[in-house]
Amino acid sequence: MKNSNELLQTVITTGKEIKPDLDRAFLEAVLEAEENFPDDEAEAERRILRALDELFKSKGI
Amino acid sequence: MLQLQRLEVEGFGPFAERQTIALPAAGVTVVYGENMRGKTLLLNAIRYAFFGRVLGRASRQRKLAAISNRDLAKEGKYGFSVSLLFTHDDTQYELLRDCSPLVETPMVDEDYRQSIMLKRGTQVLGPQERDHMLKVIFPEEISRFFLFDGELLQEYEELLINESEAGRRIAEAIEVILGVPALKRSRALLTRLADEADKLAAREAKKSQETQSLGNVLELSVQQREAHEAELRRKQNDLADLTTRRSEIEQSLHVIQKYATIIDERDSRQARFEEAGRETDNYRQELQRTMANAWRTLLREPVRLARDAVASEVQKDIDTYVTQLRGRAINQGMCDVCGQEVVGDVLLALKSAATTANSATAGTDTSLTGAMYRLQDLNRFDDSDNTGEIRQLWKSIKNLEIERATLKDRISELTGALSDSDPDEVRRTNASYAEVHEKISITKRSIDDEIKKILGLNESIERTRRNLEKSAGTDLRRSQLRARTLRDSAEVFGAAIERYKSELRTKVEATASKLFLKMTTEKKDFAGLTINESYGLSIRHQDGRAEEARSAGAEHVVALALMGALQGNAPLQGPIVMDSPFGRLDADHTANVIKALPTMAEQIVLLVYEAEVDKTQMREILGSSLVREYRMEKVSSRRTIIRDLK
């Protein structure tokens, strides 16, 4: 049973309100990592860090 | 979305031979079966396939060794299997769970081997992927909202009780189905990564002389915060354990209270039993006394006849005596009684009276004295009729005997119910409760302390970070930026949790209200349902007030409304399988619930007995939403087959 988009929409909307500088794609990647690996924290963390690296790369950091 | 396609059972409960049920993806499938035919076991077959468990009454886990078909066991064939074909997000899966004997005559669960296979398409998944997929497809903690047993209804009342342990578990399960844990876990992941990023930033800072001391401060603060966060988690686990323990003690106290009530009832019945015994003795003595005179009733009539005869005799004697007196008065010319002269008219009158009397009393011999004595004796005879009194006394004694027999049975029952009780248990349990209560208060205070310390350290870390930013090199800036991004993201997810829960509660309340108003027969009186923080639903009157006391039937309808609302609003969706869902409902409510079913979920499976809902009525109400019908038919007390009614 997969989660719907409503969870993501709530995260995106909240992000826009309290941390507008945060990248939407990164927040989406975090949620996706958790949903795909709910029992494998190590793998989920790796995915999140990979997404962070990609984000920084895309911004030239 | 999960959609069941086919269920096969063999050797499972009463299903000795392989039985297959095809389950259309959309619509309502109904399986009719009388009591003891295996309806609940069919629901359990789905539970067993996914989780390897079979639940009995009060959600107690049943021994698998007891599930094997008894008829087959007599033939030396043990074990059972369940196969489930389903789709999840449009991908087909086949799940096969098998329980086979390890010994010739297995008696306990350990004598069996369980094996499980999950195929995705044609590919058999390895154990890790299999277990992972099963948790993703159908997490066990939310199964109660899809595999619905009427017995579990009262659990939903717990949602209305704050700090109820059972309510907390159900609320957590609701949050799972609504997807909240994904946000909580995301926040936890990000927080941990942010801590690591802070440590990395501290190490970077320490590399440069300019930022070394700030780096040391940052590193130390982060380490301290980690330690306090670990301590906070430990104390939160302790609090959860203590809360569970308190809940168990509360249940024990409830049972003890029940014992106290039983003891009170037993004592009062015992007292009444003894009192009734004394009353019976009194009545018996009274009866004995009354019976001592009962013979009088038998003689009443003969005595009356004798009395009348003697009275008649006495009258005759009196008449004869008077005649004799008159005769002497006439002859003597003087009355023997008063001594007066008898002359003239008096003499004439006496002569006339004497002539009449002579003919009547001629030849009669007087024995007046004897007859009068006999009459006196007969008049002394007490001829009162006490049969009414005797009957009344017998009736009273009989009633008391019946009452005593009933009381004796009840006292015996109550004594049996107390056989496990321990008179000292109340004292011990109360002491444990006080102790746990105290520990909870202490733990809560220490949790607050830890949170304050962590907040203080966060402020210190933030200050140090800002100071570092002023003089940071490229690598340090990058490390700090990573840490900030992760921490900000954690903050977003934290805020999203509360927002999401609040939005969901509003939606669940609205959907549940609509469903409830469809199913209730009191549409004019009720405005809808109101949801609390724990997803408990109370019925709201048109005047805005909450319905205080709810009948079992009302509870039933509210629980069904909640299930439908969760299905309608949850990211996790699947079929609803209901076992005897109409037990507490009257005919009108049952009809309303059936009408509402197709709106609650795409795929519904109902396990009902025909007295609950007539087949014709079901077909009429559901119309084209009714897609398949089956009936469980008895072959013997231990064998059932499932017939397709197409």
Half-sphere exposure in the Cβ direction for B452 (13 Å, CA): 6
Q: From CA B265, how far away is CA B358, in angstroms rounded?
A: 85
Q: Tell me what pLDDT residue B362 has.
A: 52
User: Which of A1, A6, A22 minimises the CB distance to B489?
Assistant: A22
> Binning pLDDT at 50, 70 and 90, where does residue B162 land?
low
* Between residues B390 and B145, the one the model is more confident about: B390
Report the half-sphere exposure of B242 (CA within 13 A, side-chain side). 19
Interface of B with A in 470-509 (CB under 8 A): 478, 481-482, 485-486, 488-489, 491-493, 495-496, 499-500, 503
Q: Which has the minimum average pLDDT: B208-212, B305-309, B513-517?
A: B208-212
CB of A3 within 8 Å of a chain B CB? The answer is: yes
- For residues B605 and B4, give the distance between their C-alpha atoms in angstroms, rounded to a whole number: 10
Please name the residues in contact with B35: beta carbons below 8 A apart, sequence gap of 6 or more: B609
Task: Nearest chain A residue to B573 by CA: give it.
Answer: A1
Contacts of B311-319 with C-beta under 8 Å, sequence gap 24+, read: B311/B375, B313/B371, B314/B368, B314/B371, B314/B372, B314/B375, B316/B361, B316/B364, B317/B364, B317/B366, B317/B367, B317/B368, B317/B371, B317/B372, B318/B368, B319/B357, B319/B360, B319/B361
- Residues 6 or more apart in contact with residue B329 via CB below 8 angstroms: B335, B336, B342, B350
Output B157 or B369, whichever has higher pLDDT.
Answer: B369
> pLDDT band at B149, cuts 50/70/90?
confident
Runs of H (alpha helix) within B333-473: 344-361, 368-380, 387-417, 425-470
Q: For residue B488, list chain A residues with Cβ-Cβ distance below 8 A.
A: 19, 21-22
The beta-carbon neighbor of B574 closest among A1, A6, A18 is A1
Q: Which two tokens stand for residue B180?
A: 């909240």
Q: Which residues of B touch A56 (CB under 8 A)?
A: 478, 481-482
Q: Do B179 and A7 lie within an 8 Å CB cutoff?
A: yes
pTM for the whole thing? 0.62
Q: Which of B239-243, B324-328, B393-397 has the highest mean pLDDT?
A: B393-397
Both tokens of B109, joined, read: 């669960």
pLDDT level of residue B385 (50, 70, 90 thresholds): confident
The bridge status of strand B639-644 relative to strand B112-120 is: unpaired
Query: Is A34 in Cβ contact with B182 (below 8 Å)?
Result: yes
Q: How is residue B162 annotated by DSSP?
A: T
B491 neighbourhood in chain A, CB within 8 Å = 18-19
Q: Do B97 and B85 form a contact (C-beta atoms < 8 A)?
A: no
Tell me which residue has tokens 């076991």. B41
For residue A14, give the 3-state DSSP assignment.
Answer: helix
Per-residue model confidence (pLDDT) at position B432:
85
User: Stretch B43-61: mean pLDDT, rounded?
Assistant: 84
> pLDDT tens digits, residue range B432-456?
888 998 999 999 999 999 999 999 9
Using the CB atoms, write b or e for B219-253: b if 16+ within 10 Å.
bebbebbbebbebbeebeebbeebbebbbebbebb
- Read off the pLDDT of residues A3-46 as tens digits, 9 standing for 90 and up: 457 889 999 999 999 999 999 999 999 999 998 888 889 999 99
How far CA B274 is from CA of B269, B393, B394, B396, B400, in Å, comes to 9, 19, 19, 16, 11
Helix pair angle (B180-207, B474-519), 10° resolution: 170
Distance CA B638, CA B331 (A): 117
The 3-state DSSP class for residue B370 equals helix
Name the residue facing B186 among A1, A31, A56 (closest C-beta).
A31
Token pair belonging to B316: 């005759």
Residue A39 is classified by DSSP as T
Going by DSSP bridges, is the β-strand pair B112-120/B123-124 parallel, antiparallel, or unpaired?
antiparallel
Lowest mean pLDDT among B41-55, B110-124, B575-589: B575-589
List, for residues B222-255, the tens digit of each pLDDT value.
Answer: 999 999 999 999 999 999 889 888 877 877 777 6
Tell me which of A4, A5, A30 to substitute to probe the interface with B (most B C-beta atoms closer than 10 Å).
A30
Put simply, the answer to whether B491 touches A34 (Cβ < 8 Å) is no
Contact B160, B170 (CB under 8 A): no
